[in-house]
């Protein structure tokens, strides 16, 4: 699982690279285009390109993260089910009378001898 430090590192890199893109692409654009209307249109197109690109990258990163999270949860659930199955087998095949109750004294599990 990612840590806060890793998340802060990703955010910092995003800020640095995003800022570099904005300033460097803006300076290149203004050095190549002298007409104000064309420069304004290209600035808008550049901003939309930046937003679409970073949104796609964020979507891919989140998809990867959520897929790993779902796999981890599935493994944990399978392990919990396996533990419950072993517990039930232990109770069913116990040599003596074995039962487990909750706080309200309701049966949670009991062997057939009980």
Measure CA 67 to chain center.
7
Per-residue confidence at 113, pLDDT binned at 50, 70, 90? low
Is there a contact between 96 and 110 (Cβ–Cβ < 8 Å)?
no
Domain that holds residue 56: 4-81
Q: Is residue 40 part of a domain?
A: yes
Q: Is pLDDT above 60 for 114? A: no
Residue 11 lies in a domain: yes
Please report where in the chains the tokens 């116990």 appear, as a residue.
94
Please write the tens of the pLDDT for every residue from 26-83.
Answer: 999 999 999 999 999 999 999 999 999 999 999 999 999 899 999 999 999 999 999 9
Q: Does residue 43 lie in a domain region?
A: yes
Instruction: Give the per-residue pLDDT at 101.
Output: 87
Inter-CA distances, 58 with 14, 29, 38, 52, 73, Å:
11, 26, 30, 10, 22
**Residue 100 lies inside a defined structural domain of this protein:** no
Domain count within the chain = 1
DSSP 32-50: H---HHHHHHHHHHHHHHH
Strands (DSSP E) contained in 25-103 are 99-101
Examine residue 105 and state whether it is found in any structural domain, yes or no. Answer: no
User: Which single residue is written with the structure tokens 């706080």?
Assistant: 103
């Amino acid at each position: 699982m990612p840590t806060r430090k890793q998340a802060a590192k990703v955010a910092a890199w995003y800020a640095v690279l995003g800022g570099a893109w904005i300033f460097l692409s803006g300076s290149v654009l203004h050095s190549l285009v002298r007409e104000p209307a064309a420069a304004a249109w290209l600035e808008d197109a550049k901003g939309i390109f930046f937003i679409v690109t970073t949104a796609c990258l964020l979507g891919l990163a989140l998809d990867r993260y959520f897929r790993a999270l779902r796999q981890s949860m599935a493994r944990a659930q399978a392990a919990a089910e396996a533990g419950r199955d072993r517990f039930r087998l232990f109770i069913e095949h116990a040599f003596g009378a074995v039962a487990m109750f909750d706080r309200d004294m309701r049966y949670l599990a009991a062997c057939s001898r009980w």
